[in-house]
Amino acid sequence: MFEAKMSRRELLKALGAAAAGSVLAACAPQPETVTVRETVVVEVEGEVEVREVEKLVTVEVAPQDDLVELTWLSHTYEPWNNALAAQGMQYMNENPNVKIVYSYITHADLNTKIVTSLAAGDPFDIMGVYGPWMPQFIDGGHLASAPDDVIEDLDANFPPMMKDAAAYDGKVYAYVQHIGIPTPIINVGMYADAGAAEPDTYDELLAAQDLLDKKDSAGNWEQFGCTLSASKGGSWNVIHYSAILFSFGGSFLDSDLKQATFNSPEGIEAANIYKRLTHIEAPDSAFNIGKSAMVWNGPWIRSELDEQAPDVDYKAIRPLEGPAGRAIGSYVWFWAVSSLTTSEETRAAWDFTGWLSAAEQYADIYRNAGLFPITNELPEEFADDPWAQAYNETLQYGRVYYAKHEKWEQIDVAIGEEMERFAAGEVEAEEFLATAEEKVNRLLG
């Protein structure tokens, strides 16, 4: 048996562009022959050898004075980085007047990298920006606002969340890069065995919870009706709580972003529901091993479930309805364009990020990296997939989980740490909310 794979990184290096992570080289009408390395995997009678060989490849290279060069930065997630690198190459093949230099850096270092490039007066033309960082860069005048055609594209082809998330003080500043939107996922078999109906509202979920929560005669847990995140890790406890809070008509901050508002009747009711659905006693793997009947997670979890829980019959359902309707909280990342680029570079940057965000390109990202398409219409190849349909519907109820305040990350920590104490049974809902409120209001000044 023989299988050959091309190393994209070696190809890009051979084309003469180098940057941290992966870098894209220019393409254009004139052919040039270069040497690249090819990784060859050879399997003979069960023994596998990996060899590197060199081969000649003909590429097309554009004259430098005809190019618009765009520098492009994101954080590191290798399957996604590889898919983006390939898309950048495709775009340059289709637009030979554009050269794209793509680099990526760890999430922990990304904000510092952006800030230092701005301070040096040499920012990246396109920057992957985490949602809570947007006020920092907008207030500093570092980001370009979107032109009319981008706003029209967002209105016509994307759920309302995508434009709302990028809007600050009446202006739109970005296409959404990707979102972390969780929706309820049920264990179909556990629901059927308990005689519980698939829930559509929080009242129905709590009724199902009564049937699905089970302990043995000694009081030890046998199974759990639902296992929301009890941990601050990745902000997931705050994200899960936000969905319930929004569905009950609550919010984290007032409209002026000057006062905490979650210590309210809506906040207390949402907190008590969150506590009932959390089950701190459950192992992290409870859903995968058939001990939890519901989790809230994103579409990327599918590959993990297929690998680790092949016997679990799972199903994604739409967000649950509360007194104020349906809502689901999500984190958001953006493709933001620097305000310091030339008009030609700015136009090219918006054209490229719009192309990246279209359904066809996002289908490739979903297929290769698990990040869900953010357009109104599902790419055709996923249109008949119930899993994809559920997440596509969830987008219509999506909201950014965070308040658009420059100190949100500190606010998130203040709320999330008190939530951990609450989930562990150390305090009741009223004390959790009062203490978190006090911490948040101190941050707000």
For residue 14, the model assigns a pLDDT of: 34
Residue 125 has pLDDT above 60, yes or no: yes
For residue 234, the model assigns a pLDDT of: 83
Residue 142 has pLDDT above 80, yes or no: yes
DSSP string computed for 275-339: HHTT-TTS-TTTTTTT-BSEEEE-TTHHHHHHHH-TT--EEE-PPPEETTEE-EEEEEEEEEEBT
Q: Across the strands, what pairs with 398?
A: 328
Is 190 within 8 Å of 291 (Cβ atoms)?
no
Strands 68-75 and 126-130: parallel
Residue 36 has pLDDT above 90, yes or no: no
Is 253 within 8 Å of 286 (Cβ atoms)?
no
| 183-331+394-444 is classed CATH 3.40.190.10 | yes
SS3 content of the chain, % helix, strand, coil (to 5): 45, 25, 35
Domain ranges, ordered by start, for the chain: 2-179+334-382, 183-331+394-444
Percent above pLDDT 90 for the chain: 82
pLDDT, mean of residues 300-325: 96
- Look at residue 101 and give its three-state secondary structure: strand
For residue 23, the model assigns a pLDDT of: 44
Confidence of residue 55 (pLDDT cuts 50, 70, 90): low
pLDDT tens, position by position, 5-20:
333 333 333 333 333 3
Percent above pLDDT 70 for the chain: 85
pLDDT, mean of residues 264-274: 98
For residue 60, the model assigns a pLDDT of: 56
For residue 399, the model assigns a pLDDT of: 96
Residue whose token pair is 């562009």: 17
pLDDT, mean of residues 290-316: 96
For residue 2, the model assigns a pLDDT of: 23
Q: What is the mean pLDDT of the chain?
A: 89
Confidence of residue 94 (pLDDT cuts 50, 70, 90): very high
Measured between alpha carbons, how far is residue 43 from residues 3, 7, 48, 351 in Å?
A: 8, 18, 4, 44
pLDDT tens, position by position, 198-209:
999 999 999 999
Q: Which of 41-55, 99-113, 171-185, 303-317 has the lowest mean pLDDT?
A: 41-55
pLDDT tens, position by position, 96-123:
999 999 999 999 999 999 999 999 999 9
CA distance 252 to 402: 8
CA distance 393 to 182: 12
DSSP string computed for 48-65: EEEEEEEEEEEEEE--GG
pLDDT, mean of residues 158-166: 97
pLDDT, mean of residues 162-184: 97
pLDDT tens, position by position, 379-403:
889 999 999 999 999 999 999 999 9
pTM of the model: 0.85
Residue 52 has pLDDT above 80, yes or no: no
Confidence of residue 56 (pLDDT cuts 50, 70, 90): low
Closest CA to 292 of 183, 186, 184: 186
For residue 3, the model assigns a pLDDT of: 29
Tell me, yes or no, if the two domains 2-179+334-382 and 183-331+394-444 fold the same way: yes
Q: Which of 13-17, 210-214, 262-266, 359-363 has the lowest mean pLDDT?
A: 13-17
pLDDT tens, position by position, 239-251:
999 999 999 999 9
Residue 30 has pLDDT above 80, yes or no: no
CATH code at 2-179+334-382:
3.40.190.10
